[in-house]
Chains A and B, each alone.
Chain A
Amino acid sequence: GAGVSQSPSNKVTEKGKDVELRCDPISGHTALYWYRQSLGQGLEFLIYFQGNSAPDKSGLPSDRFSAERTGGSVSTLTIQRTQQEDSAVYLCASSLEDRGSGSPLHFGNGTRLTVT
């Protein structure tokens, strides 16, 4: 079946513009995670959804970042007034997961965001 799908795969935007990144998880996966990986850096947790709710938003780096998930499926990560330090690969992962039990993660291929 289809894996985790992210779009766009690449996005170049001017500083100050808003961007929206989309993640389509595997059908039926209740847990959805957003991460980012800056050049040469490790993975940085941004936000976690269980269904439509976001019990953990602790990783969002500033109030310019927001995310939502509708229908327990598609999620969008929005970055307002982009800055050059926002340039990174934004990764989405999903899992079929009961609270606290953990289950295998499935990653999308990421969206490479470049802010000029």
Chain B
Amino acid sequence: KNEVEQSPQNLTAQEGEFITINCSYSVGISALHWLQQHPGGGIVSLFMLSSGKKKHGRLIATINIQEKHSSLHITASHPRDSAVYICAVNEYGNKLVFGAGTILRVKS
């Protein structure tokens, strides 16, 4: 079993829909990251969380430390949101462990 599990693996949405991507982890962590990778592009850090909730524009990330679960929400989705979204956790000692990623496609 992977230490970091993401769901769904693939997601297709219509423009304007509310999108949720989930991440569960099984190890103790000091922080959780949500990353975005566009096709052929680099990786951008969206959020770094250790508790609670963060919001940036149409993106919201939440984390529940007790349940070892995080969600990334996209409101009013747009085709330019199409990308791979990756959850990664800092294990204690700082090693980063990555989820397999969620491929999001938003259709217009």
Q: A31, A100, A108: which has the most chain B beta carbons within 10 Å? A: A100
User: Which A57-116 residues sit within 8 Å CB-CB of chain B?
Assistant: 58, 91, 93, 97, 99-110
Complex-state Cα separation, A19 to B50, whole angstroms:
38
Q: Which residue in B88, B94, B100 is a CB contact (below 8 Å) of A31?
A: B94
Complex-state Cα separation, A44 to B2, whole angstroms:
13
Provide the main secondary structure of the chain B interface.
Answer: strand
Is A102 within 8 A of B48, CB to CB? yes
Interface size on A, residues (CB 8 A): 27
Q: How large is the interface on B (under 10, 10 to 19, 20 to 34, 35 or more residues)?
A: 20 to 34
Is A50 within 8 A of B94, CB to CB? yes
Is B45 within 8 A of A107, CB to CB? yes
Cβ-closest 4 pairs across A and B? A102-B31, A102-B90, A107-B43, A102-B30
Complex-state Cα separation, A65 to B43, whole angstroms:
23
User: Could you say which residues of chain B place their CB within 8 Å of the CB of A105?
Assistant: 33, 35, 45, 48, 88, 96
| A1 interface contact, C-beta 8 A | no
- Given contacts A42-B100, A48-B96, A55-B93, list 12 more A-B pairs with CB under 8 A: A42-B86, A42-B99, A50-B94, A55-B94, A58-B95, A91-B43, A93-B43, A101-B30, A102-B50, A104-B33, A105-B35, A105-B96
